[in-house]
Amino acid sequence: MRPPSPSIPEKEFLNSALKQNLRIDGRAPLDMRTPVFIFGPELGWVDCSLGKTRVIAYVDAKMVKPTPERPFEGMITIHSELSPMASSEYETGRPSEEEVTITRMLDKIIKRSDALDKESLCILAGQRVWHIRLSLHFLADAGNMVDCACLAGIVALRHFRRPEVEVIGDDEVIVHSPLERAPMPLAIHHSPFCFTFAFFADPETPPILDPTQLEQRLSAGLMSIALNAQKEICVLQKLGGVPQDTEEVLRLVKVAVAQAKELSNTVDAKLTADWETRKVEVR
């Protein structure tokens, strides 16, 4: 289904404003919206918003039998579905092109980059492993859902605590409830954050970071970079759109590197602050 295109006055206003380095919501071209996190009462539940874009991420863990090809590794599945609640363009059931892009990006950023250590999820080799399920619900689309979803997913995984298990002998597994023993955090190697830049057809218009919905629709190309605070690029996607010089691509990578560092500190601070509020009695 084709989305209704923006009106001509909107298009012209946006293009002329961007030419003068002005964005409609008042941000600088390379300014990101400040992420707001609301942590749920349960561990592993996060509501992340970037401006008006809202995504809820929820993590839960189940004990299952591992696949025969990999008996020492746990499993992680990401479930995300775009419903018309996010925007009237999306239909349930049939994945639109944008939905395919988002789910594939999340898959690459969180699963393929090995952010989560799967071997640490093994309880009893060949018999019992943890199956971590990350569910993402897109509540509102005000542009740049990929970045918001990725952020929500990573923060939820870091927020989540799995129950502690004790293995006795060769086949006895005791799962301790969170009331008996403090639950354990997941082993996360690195936290990738995603940054999306939008390009415009006019060569004098600079690329912008974290586009709103209107900017995204009127853009002539998007580039998403997922990297961690250790300056490693996990995913870089510039799928078509206005051709760019490699120098420009590399300049934006540097911008993303700086943003990743900042974001990493913000996320760390928010997670620590939330953890303080949860009473953990040590007896």
| Site membership for other proteins, residue 239 (CB under 8 A) | yes
Nearer to other proteins, 26 or 243 (CB): 243
CA distance 266 to 76: 26
x/- contact string, 199-238, with other proteins (CB under 8 A)?
Answer: ---------------------xx-x---x---xxxxxxxx
Q: Cβ of residue 190: shortest distance to other proteins, in angstroms?
A: 8
Residue from 15, 87, 101, 120 touching other proteins (CB under 8 A): that is 101
Backbone φ, ψ for residue 215 (5° rounding)? -65, -35
Structure tokens at 263: 């974001």
- 4 CB neighbour count, 10 Å cutoff: 9
Confirm if 241 and 221 have CB atoms less than 8 A apart: yes
Q: Which range touches other proteins (CB under 8 A), out of 126-134, 160-168, 209-217, 246-254?
A: 246-254
| Site membership for other proteins, residue 15 (CB under 8 A) | no
Residue from 123, 140, 253, 271 touching other proteins (CB under 8 A): that is 253
Residue from 64, 244, 271, 274 touching other proteins (CB under 8 A): that is 244
x/- contact string, 254-283, with other proteins (CB under 8 A)?
Answer: x--x--------------------------
Nearer to other proteins, 87 or 101 (CB): 101
Confirm if 86 and 138 have CB atoms less than 8 A apart: yes
Contacts 24+ apart (CB under 8 A), 233-242: 234/108, 234/109, 234/112, 234/113, 234/115, 234/192, 235/105, 235/108, 235/109, 235/112, 235/113, 235/192, 235/194, 237/105, 239/101, 241/199, 242/199, 242/200, 242/201
Binding site for other proteins (CB under 8 A): 2, 95, 97, 100-101, 103-104, 108, 112-114, 220-221, 223, 227, 231-246, 249-250, 253-254, 257
